[in-house]
Amino acid sequence: MGPGTAPPARPAPQEEAPPPGQGATDSAGFEAWLRGFRQRAAGKGIAQPVLDAALGRAAYLPEVVAAASRQPEFTRSLEDNIALAASDARIKLGKRKLARHRGLFSRIERHFQVEREVVCAIWGHESTFGARRGDIEVVSALASLAYGGVRAGFFEGELVAALKIVQAGDVTLRKLRGSWAGAMGHTQFIPSSYLAHAVDFDGDGRRDIWGDDPTDALASTAAYLRDAGWRFGEPWGVEVDARGRQMDGRPAPDLPGAQLLQPLGDPGPRFLVFNNYRVLRRYNNAMAYAIGVGHLADRLAGGGPFVGPFPRDGQGLSLEDRKEIQRRLKRLGFDPGTIDGVIGDKTVAAIRAFQSERGLSADGVATRELLAALRRR
Ligand code: CA
């Protein structure tokens, strides 16, 4: 299978929430839908005992349908996504994982011709190196999305694929778990991607991407990238200046299919991207994902941070300003979460607590005034 034919490993983003009245949610309706689905799945070769076992315990999960309309990668800013994707903590942990699984990564790199840092970066991004694989029952999640969500046809196809996985004996129903949209295991494969690309790399007869041992999952990820047209030895992209040179003055690689990206306009960072950038977008079709994962891989391989100017945010703060706010809050005993420059829930709560203590309006917004107040402490 070559580029252009591999299905995405992860579902594409929801463009919009379902219009009112379209998301049917009553359990009687769900049961009726399951009966209809059972017929269709049987017609696609799923055996009755598998249908009985899988659908007999399927439950409608409204929270999964709600989650389908918000994927953070598509609502956060590009800069926040990059800061999160290649945070200092994730780089440090990724280097530890590369060292700990050195032999496995070497075998995978040799066999699939995909750089170890790229596979490790996807692992880090998708599940924090296996720590967050998702604990939602895949059959229930996909059935809920196929019944009550938009893009029902896509999720019904994934549900059939999930049942094929169970039928093949690779995993038990009890272990068939994942995140909200049926993305499963260490690197969050959706069922159709699993069927097309997963491999049994440890040779025990099962393709296990769910268990604690990441061997099959990491090899399957490399297999996916290879199948999607990954080119060993080529960068995903490089950061370039206004003249098209790399930031250290070297000329950019002369590779076919080069494309200039200026995701934040001018002024803003510029990237010259190549074939492997487009392969990463097949894994998860978001620019921020491909740049974030590609950059994390570069950092794991010893590369430096981006140096181009990111525009200041709506409050006039740079990434460094936001990190300084977090550092100063932490020093004062508030908990802003990870020092990554991303103003998430924890940082907002810490800002509110600081503002309350100082008798300020506790709006939780990171502003220049807030930074100035923190510096006065
Ligand atoms: Ca195996």
State the Cα–Cα distance between residues 12 and 154, nearest whole angstrom: 10
Q: Which helix (H) or strand (E) holds 5?
A: none
Question: Which of 70-84, 112-126, 300-314 has the largest mean confidence?
Answer: 112-126
- Residue 215 CA to ligand 1 center (angstroms) comes to 8
Least confident of 192-206, 231-245, 290-304, 356-370: 356-370
Q: Is 218 left (phi over 0), alpha (psi -120 to 50) or beta?
A: alpha
Q: Is 166 exposed, middle or buried (0-12, 13-18, 19+ CB in 10 A)?
A: buried
Helix %, strand %, coil % of the chain (to 5) = 50, 5, 45
What gap in Å lies between CA 228 and CA 224, rounded to an integer? 6
* Alpha carbon of 208 to ligand 1 centroid (Å): 5
CA atoms within 13 A on the CB side of 330: 14
- CATH 1.10.8.350 domain locations along the chain: 27-69+133-206
The average pLDDT across 120-147 equals: 96
The reported pLDDT for the residue numbered 74 is 52
Q: What is the DSSP string of 94-123?
A: HHHHHHHTHHHHHHHHHHH---HHHHHHHH
- pLDDT per residue as tens digits for the range 248-258: 999 999 999 99
Write down the pLDDT at residue 68.
79
Which pLDDT band holds residue 83 (cuts at 50, 70, 90)? confident
The model's pLDDT over 41-77, given as tens digits with 9 standing for 90+, comes to 999 999 999 999 999 999 999 899 888 776 655 556 7
Distance 170 CA to ligand 1 centre (A): 9
Is 232 or 3 the better-scoring residue by pLDDT? 232
How many angstroms does the Cα of residue 213 sit away from the middle of ligand 1? 9
Average pLDDT over residues 297-315: 88
Confidence at residue 9, expressed as pLDDT on a 0 to 100 scale: 55
Residue 84 has pLDDT above 90, yes or no: no
- Fold classification of 27-69+133-206 is Helicase, Ruva Protein; domain 3 (1.10.8)
Burial of 372 (C-beta count, 10 Å sphere; 0-12/13-18/19+): exposed
Could you tell me the distance, in angstroms and rounded to a whole number, from the CA of residue 104 to the centre of ligand 1?
13
Average pLDDT, integer, range 235-260: 95
The two structure tokens encoding residue 220: 């399957």
Look at residues 266, 264, 234, 279 and name the one whose alpha carbon lies nearest to residue 252.
234
| pTM for the whole structure | 0.83
Which of 2-11, 69-78, 82-91, 360-369 has the weakest average pLDDT? 2-11
Asked if residue 18 has a cis previous peptide bond (ω within 30° of 0), the answer is no
- Name residue, tokens 């999640």: 141
**Whether pLDDT at 22 is above 50:** no
Task: Report the share of the chain in percent with pLDDT over 90.
Answer: 72
